[in-house]
Structure 1
C-alpha cells in the first residue's frame, strides 16, 4: 500500500511546540534571531573565502561548502517553523513536507560527510605539513566535496522516498516542528520495524562512519603531537584543529542523540529541542566559532572592511 491509497487531505499538522504556547512566542524571537545570524555569518564566510586570496586553501574551500550547507539546512526548515510559531495554523502540505524532508535530509547528510572530509584536511595539515599541498591538491578536494554532496543526496533519495511511501491511514498529526524521518515513520499504520532497522543502518553509515573517521584523524593528530612532546606543539595543534573540533562536538553530540537510538525512545519533547539545536543553533555557531578562533578569517574580515571603507571615502 503506497501513498495514493493511504493518503488524507494532502497536508500534515506540525504539532511542534503548540503544547507549550507560552514557549512559542519566546521561540519565535530566538529562532528568528538565530536564522538571521546564520544567514549573515555563513554568507560572510562564503564571501571572504571567495574574495580573499589568502584564504584560497583546502580548509576554506571545505568551510565554504559547510557554510552553504548550513544556509540550505536552516532555510529548508526555519521559514515554516516561524510561520507555525506565529499563529494557530500548523499545517504543511504534502508536497511541502516532502520537499522539506528531502532537502533537510540531503544537506544534513552532506554535512556529516563534509565534517569527516574537514578532519582529513586537519590531519594532513598537522601530520603531513611538508606534503600538505601535494596531499590536499585541488583535484582531491573537489572529489571529496562531490562525494559529500552525492552521498547526502543519495541518502535523502532513499530514506525520504521509503518514508513517504509508508501507509499512514489518515494519520496526519506530526509531533515535530518539521518533516524528519524519525518522527514521520511514527505516522505509519503498519509495522515499522524494517524502517527502524533501515534508519539505523543509514545512521551507522552516514553518522557513525564519518564520526569514526574524524576520531581516527584526531587520534593520529594527538599521537603526532605527543611524539613531539612540547607545549608549543599542543598550542599549534589546537589552533589548527580547535574550531573544527568544536563544530564536530556540537553537531554530532546532538544529531546522534536523535538518530542512533531505537525509534520508540524518540521523546516528543526532548527530540524536538535536540533537533532545534542541530538545525537552528549549530549553523549559527559554526561561522562564529571559525571567525572568533581563527586569525586568518579575522584578518580577511579586517582587510575586507578596510577595503570597503577606503572605497567609501573615495
Structure 2
C-alpha cells in the first residue's frame, strides 16, 4: 500500500517551486502522449457531435464530473449546444433531460464508474450515440461506446499516484481539442462567440455600436460657423465633452471641430480675440469622424491611433448626428 511521503523536517526549507515544476513536467509529458494518440477516433467523435440534431450531453462522476462540466461549458460557448447531466441524478429522473437526438459524452478514467455504467442500458435503448473518454480501452464504458477517446497517462502527478492530476489535465485538453476542432469546422467566428458572451468584455467590444453610447440631440455640442470663440467655449462648457462641432445651421452638415486643445492654442495666439474671432477661423477642418453604425471598439481604436479623446458621429451625407469621448467608452467598459 502506498504511504504518504514523510513531511519535510523544516517546511520553511522545503523546495516548493521544485515540487511545482515536477507537476508541470509530468503533466506536460502526459499531454504529449495523449496528443500522439489522436487518430480516426477523434475525427469520428467530432463528426458525431457535428451531425447531432440535438445537443452534446456531458456526464461523469467526481473529478471526471468537474471536467465534464467544463467541457460542456466550453462546447456551448463555441457553437456546439451542450450541457452537463449528473449521472447520479440521471438515475433518479434527470435521464429524461436526454433526448434521442442527443450525443452523450461520458467521462470516467477507470471506465467503470457505477453511476455512469448504470445509464448505459437506457441510453442504448433510446438510441443515443455514445462517446467515451477513459484511460482504459478495455473498460466497460469504452466497450459500450460508439467512439472511444483514450486519455490514459503514464503516471499521475500526485506522488501517491492517487489524486487525479495528469489524467484530469489530459481529459480537459481532450475536451478543448474537441471544442476547437468543432469551432473551426463550423466556421464559428469572434462575432458568434460574442453573441454567447454578451455580458463579457469581448461581447461588449464586439456587439456594442457607436449608436448605443453616443450623445444625441441637444446633448451634442454644436455652433454655427459665424459663432465667436467665446460662444463656442460656452457650448463646450455646457455639454462637457471637451469639444464642439461647427456645423451649417441649415442642414447640420459638419464643417469642423474645436477642442480643449484648440482653445489652449488660441489662448497662446495673440491675434485671437475670444470675443471677436469667428470659430471657423480657428477650427480644425476635416476632423476625424465615425459613423453611428460602427462598433464602439472602432472608436477606441481611432482615438488611440490618433491620440484624440473625442469623436463626432456623422451620417453618410456628413451631417452631425452624435458625439462621444473616451469617458463614454470607459463607462461602457469598451476600454
Q: Fold-level match, TM-score > 0.5?
A: no
Report the TM-score, using the length of structure 2 for normalisation: 0.21
Report the TM-score, using the length of structure 1 for normalisation: 0.22
Q: Which has the higher helix share?
A: 1
Q: Which has the higher strand share?
A: 2
Q: Which has the higher contact order (CA 8 A, sep 6+)?
A: 1
